[in-house]
Structure 1
Amino acid sequence: MSNEPANNDDETPRDPLQEILASLMGGKGLEGIDPAELAKAAGLPSDPNALQQMFAQFQTMMNSPTEGPVNWQLAHDNARQAAAGGDPSVTPAQSREVDEALRLAELWLDPVTELPSTGLIGRAWSRAEWVEETLGTWKRLTEPVANSIALALSTTLQEQMPEEMKSMMGGASSMLQNMGGALFGMQLGQAVGALAREVVSSTDIGVPLADLQMALLPANVAAFGEGIEVPEAEVRLFLALREAAHARLFVQVPWLRGHLLGAIEAYARGIHIDTSRIEELARDLDPSDPERIREALSQGVFMPQRTPAQDAALSKLETALALVEGWVDELSFEAAAQLPSAAALRETVRRRRATGGPAEHAFGSLVGLELRPRRLREAATLWAALKEQRGVAGRDAIWKHPDLLPTAEDLDDPTGFSERREMAEASDSAVDEALAKLLTGGYEPQSGAGPDDGEHPEDPSTPKE
């Protein structure tokens, strides 16, 4: 297509996508926009060749039928592409080192928890393997948000399109429906692929992304240890302790994985996209000002908007994540007591989990959810206090049922948890006992207190015989 502006007499058909974008951008389309700036703002790679390949793939996918509103094949392909750069294959020596570290970690955990060993075989994954093993769970967690974004984009595009263009599009409306899903799939793939370059294990973000798996990523473990002056073998063993502790918790507490993933799904289902923000961008944006475009997109034009109910749900989810991470933090540190670098490694992990890496922030901006245990330290303090008060068995018994889990209030005052729980249990017991008596007729009426006790009090106004 020519770069010259089309005049009214030009009968050359224009690309429908260009027509839509031109309509949204006040007739200017994408003229004057620096593709690298737009890509950077959208969280996509800025390399021209990679962009060209990606958008060619995007255009093909956008016109292809998909299952549901999100193009998950595009997400998969982009995740693999983002993870593949500098992703060496796992060597036999690395596989052996990871297996030995996870086996030793299981032995070291035995004395510090009542939860038994899982018997899982330790795996060494490349970044691409991590993508393959976890993408199904990412799809489950992000699909509600993805559907909302895809619907908002397609609805806004159709509403903003002039009537004459709607008739021109005709049967191509399916392209509009696929457009939002393709855009989201592309960005999600980039976010997951970037995460694959940061995570060190299958449970590194605190959520069991791979069902019944225990694995480390040797390339990322080596990168984690750079600059902290700790032997790589110690780094690997400490991270193996964390992975093995996560595995015990999720395997031996069967309800926990569904509880966490269900909480995330419930939170995501309540997210809705503010389409007015997309409309404002389309109406007010000057396509000749790339910096303004970058600023608008970085402010989260497509970022889901939270309601007060969502904020409350997020608070509960963050508490659950903190409890998992706090338990793992406490156990892995206790099990690693014989490692000279245990304290330094623990603090490094804590800071890393509290702040999150660039990929975690990008993922959080995309789906409106950051899976970070903000109250990890308070949770670790709580589990340490419970061990002191109840012993190892009493501490781990908390995981028997979700109703037994500590709350955000308990994280505020870890030492008072047991006292509050005993008071609540005593109150519940008293209520249950009273209810049981009421249902079985166990209450004895007070003498002279009821109208049917066979005796009637004298009425002073009634004359005596």
Structure 2
Amino acid sequence: MSNPPFGFGLPDPDKGRDNESSGSGGQQPPGSGADAFQQLGQMLSQLGQMLSQAGSSSGPVNYDLAKQIAMQRLASGGESTLGFSSPETSGEGAVRDAAHLAELWLDEATILPAGASNTVAWNARDWVEKTLPTWQRLCDPVAKQVSGAWMQALPEEAKQAAGPLLSMVGQMGGMAFGSQLGNALAELASEVLTSTEVGLPLGPAATSALLPANIEKFTEGLERPSSEVLVFLAAREAAHQRLFAHVPWLRQRLLATVEEFAHGITVDTSALEELAGQVDPSNPASIEQAMSSGLLEPKTTPEQQAALTRLETLLALVEGWVDVVVAEAVGDRLPGADALRETLRRRRATGGPAEQTFATLVGLELRPRRMRAASALWKLVGDQHGIDKRDHLWSHPDLMPTAEDLDDPMAFAERLGAPAELGDDPIAELERTERAEEDARSQKADEAGEGGPDDDTEGDTGKQA
């Protein structure tokens, strides 16, 4: 975890000097904790009007404010166009044509059918609006942990004295988080190329989305035709959508692992008194500065580290599979495919603005660190066992390669082939188990429908057997 999440920003080197000059920072005399909470109460009163104008969003993050800030930043930056300025491509039509061509090529490279029923061109503001529901699911656990730490750390006497003001503390935190989220989403929206670029299914299900204006900026300096870049990115987006649409457990597993990581966030609440001492009642913005001071920086627990390892492995497997399938689909058809493939690999590996922003929002680096190893594994499995067996591994999470398998792809490929020689194919065994479970469910439903005493006796006899 390189970048701390909501409210855990890095310390501002100028903050200490500013506080010294204003007399609000530095070492506090004994008994200053109570004074700090009084200052906090005064500030909350001053923030009343601002809170009432911040939108109706409730919860740990003010998403109304986040959306408003993101939209305003994008509008001021001129983020409104959909199409390329080059004569060979333009907006929605270019995206649909590129996606159609990419889907035809992908049909030859994977057994998974097309996963997107709708292909659209988004501008940056579309991306913010369409992905915000998923961001809410990802960010809520982090913000709840931080907000809960504030509330739990308040001394009992302070809680009793604050009374109804505690709800205002939650609103205030929601505004601070919402402001941070809005600015981060605006930066992300100006960088991402497709709806799945960060490796997660952020957009609506079965919708393939590309951002032509961002793709045009990305194309500058690549010395490749914009139409070629568009088709290549459309193929990557379509490959992601095939996985997310036809691997039922994948979307839930990815998002749930991010949530699991966030739920494990813990803070050192002993720093709360010092944090409260940084608040200047005459400056409402000081609450956001205090919350990003680094005093409540979280510690990574062993459970979080395990979740992070699982997430990194799964992301690497997703990105590695997409990398291999797209290379096989477009490699002989697009002259610049290899160069584009390497450019995108480096873009992910070095952690551009999109990855850095996500690390700030959720508190972890969402980069498939081992994507090259995963790509080598999928390529090896496909070459040795065919694309049918390679893609069928996605049918159940228990069949998926592990982090240890990424260390030794050859051993995994050999092990995958060995059971078939012994008549104990794990994929076939899983299919037999699933069919047996389905038959058992059907039989149980039939027995429940008949409801006769003889049927119950047969059911008991079957259970005993």
1:118 to 100, 115, 120: 115
1:88-134 deviations in Å (ceiling 9; x for gaps):
23259311111111111001111111111235231000111111111
**Residue matched to 1:219:** 213
Corresponding residue for 1:334? 328
In structure 2, what is the Cα distance between the partners aligned to 1:129 and 1:315?
A: 32
Residue in 1 that maps onto 2:102:
105
SS at match of 2:80: coil
Answer yes or no: is the 8 Å Cα contact 1:154–1:179 preserved in 2.
Answer: no
Partner letter of residue 370 of structure 2? R
2:116 and 2:206 in contact (8 A); partners too: no
- 1:80-91 paired onto structure 2 within 5 Å: 80-84=71-75, 85-91=77-83
Mapping of residues 306-325 of structure 1, within 5 Å: 306-325=300-319
AA partner of residue 398 (structure 1):
L
Take 1:250 and 1:125, find their aligned partners in 2: how far apart are those partners? 20
State the TM-score, normalizing by the size of structure 1. 0.72
Residue 121 to residue 262, structure 1, CA distance change in 2 (3 Å): same
Contact 2:276 2:290 in 1 (8 A): no
Task: Give the deviation of 1:272 after TM superposition.
Answer: 2.5
Aligned to 1:233: 227
Q: Secondary structure at the match of 1:123?
A: strand
Residue 154 of structure 1 contacts residue 180 of structure 1 at CA under 8 Å; is this kept in 2? no
Equivalent in the alignment of 1:23 = 36
Determine the structure 1 residue equivalent to 2:136: 139
Distance 1:428 1:180 in 2: 56
Listed as ranges, the gaps of 5+ residues in structure 1 are: 6-18, 31-54, 288-292, 433-465
Residue 350 (structure 2) aligned to one of 324, 347, 355:
355
> CA deviation digits over 1:427-460, x for unaligned, max 9?
9999x9xxxxxxxxxxxxxxxxxxxxxxxxxxxx
How far residue 22 of structure 1 moved from its aligned partner, in angstroms, is: 7.9
Judged with a 3 Å threshold, the aligned counterparts in structure 2 of structure 1 residues 175 and 111 are, in CA distance, closer, same or farther, namely: same
Q: Out of 364, 385, 391, which is 1:390 matched to? A: 385
Mean CA deviation greater in 414-423 or 328-337:
414-423
Cα distance, 1:153 vs structure 2: 3.2
Change (3 A) 1:21 1:181: farther
Distance 1:121 1:359, change over 3 A: closer
Q: CA deviation at 1:274?
A: 3.0
In structure 1, the residue matched to 2:67 is 76
Q: State the alpha-carbon separation in 1 of the partners of residues 401 and 290 from structure 2.
A: 41
Range with bigger deviation, 87-96 or 119-128: 87-96
Kindly indicate whether the alpha-carbon contact (under 8 Å) linking 2:278 and 2:290 is maintained by their aligned counterparts in 1: no
- Give the aligned residue type for 2:111: E
Tell me the amino acid that sits aligned with residue 36 of structure 2: S
- Residues 283 and 96 (structure 1), Cα distance of their counterparts in 2 relative to 1, 3 Å cut: same
Q: Displacement, 1:80?
A: 2.3
CA contact (8 A) 1:303 1:365 kept: no
**TM alignment of 1:155-304, pairs within 5 A:** 155-156=152-153, 158-159=154-155, 167=161, 171-210=164-203, 211-282=205-276, 300-304=294-298
For the residues of structure 1 that align with 2:277 and 2:170, how far apart are their CA atoms?
Answer: 21
Q: Does 1:364 align with 2:359?
A: yes
Report SS of the residue matched to 1:111: coil
Q: Deviations over 1:182-227 (max 9, x none)?
A: 2112212221221111110111111111122101001110111122
The verdict on how the C-alpha distance between 1:191 and 1:115 changes in structure 2, with shifts beyond 3 A counting, is same
Q: Secondary structure at the match of 1:265?
A: helix
**Partner letter of residue 97 of structure 1?**
A
TM-score by length of 2: 0.72
Larger radius of gyration: 1
- 2: CA distance, partners of 1:233 / 1:302: 48
Q: For structure 2, which runs of at least 5 residues remain unmatched after alignment?
A: 1-21, 23-31, 85-89, 282-286, 430-465
Contact 2:321 2:378 (8 Å CA) reproduced: yes
**What is the CA–CA distance in structure 2 between the aligned matches of 1:56 and 1:90, rounded to whole Å?**
40
2 CA distance for matches of 1:65 and 1:98?
36
Between the aligned partners of 2:293 and 2:168, the Cα distance in structure 1 is: 27
Alpha-carbon offset, residue 368 of structure 1: 1.1
Deviation (angstroms), 1:60 = 3.5
Residues 278 and 240 (structure 1 numbering): CA distance in 2 closer, same or farther, change over 3 Å? farther
The 2-side partners of 1:196 and 1:345 are apart by 21
- Report the residue type matching 2:78 in the other structure: G
Structure 1 residues 119 and 366: alpha-carbon distance in aligned structure 2, compared to 1, 3 A threshold: closer
Change (3 A) 1:334 1:117: same
Q: CA deviation at 1:142?
A: 1.5
Match of 1:96 in 2: 93
1:374 aligns with 2:387: no
- Residue pair 1:304, 1:368 contacting (<8 A) in 2 also: no
1:125–1:215 Cα contact (<8 Å) kept: yes
The verdict on how the C-alpha distance between 1:181 and 1:417 changes in structure 2, with shifts beyond 3 A counting, is same
Asked which structure has the greater RCO (Cα within 8 Å, sep 6+), the reply is 2
RMSD: 3.7
The more displaced of 174-183 and 96-105 is: 174-183
How many residues align? The count is: 380
Provide the secondary structure at the position in 1 that maps to 2:207: coil
Query: Secondary structure in 2 aligned to 1:77?
Result: helix
Structure 1 distance, partners of 2:223, 2:34, is: 52
**Rounded Cα–Cα distance in structure 1 between residues aligned with 2:191 and 2:312:** 21
Matched residue of 1:271: which SS? coil
What displacement does 1:82 show?
3.3
Question: Taking every aligned residue pair, what percent have the same amino acid on both sides?
Answer: 49
1:58 CA displacement: 5.6
* Contact 1:336 1:342 survives alignment (8 Å): yes
